[in-house]
Amino acid sequence: MAYAVGRALIVWPTLGEYGINPWAFLVIDVGTAWPYAYGQLRVVKEARSKNWGGTQIWAAIALLSFVAPYAYIAGAGSGEMPLLAWIVIGVLMVLFGVASLVRVLRQIRSPDLKGV
């Protein structure tokens, strides 16, 4: 939750002038934090159980939860934001997405079941 609030505080001064409502962003970001985290946990659990259908469903939930705040920015700031803002958002999405993917893959492969 603190991470979501921190991101909203960054969005406010940097993207507020381009039509991004920081309160809407915060609500979306906080509202998707739990399904995102839970989805990741379930991906690990389902993959370890070799339940590929369940893995795909929970991966889709985690992915949609991850993308939702960025999708809001893309929709609300369409056309008004400078190219540099789009590049920074894209780079952040890739970095955070890869970090999450690496963490989930490590948990799936780990013999330690702690936290799952």
58-83 pLDDT per residue, tens? 999 999 999 999 999 889 886 778 88
What DSSP string describes the chain?
A: -HHHHHHHHHHHHHHGGGT--HHHHHHHHHHHHHHHHHHHHHHHHHHHTT-HHHHHHHHHHHHHHHHHHHHHHHHHTTTTS-HHHHHHHHHHHHHHHHHHHHHHHHHHH-S--TT-
Q: Kindly report which listed range (10-19, 30-39, 43-52) carries the lowest average pLDDT score.
A: 10-19
Give CA–CA dist 80/19, Å, rounded. Answer: 8
Nearest alpha-carbon partner for 47 in 112, 99, 109: 109
Give CA–CA dist 69/10, Å, rounded. Answer: 13
Tens-digit pLDDT profile for residues 91-108:
989 998 999 999 999 999
Tens-digit pLDDT profile for residues 2-28:
677 777 777 777 788 888 888 898 899
Band (pLDDT 50/70/90 cuts) for residue 54 is very high
pLDDT at 16: 80
pLDDT at 113: 59
Is 14 or 41 the better-scoring residue by pLDDT? 41
Q: Give the domain ranges of the chain.
A: 2-109
pLDDT at 12: 73
Is the pTM higher than 0.85? The answer reads no
Tokens of 32: 């998707």
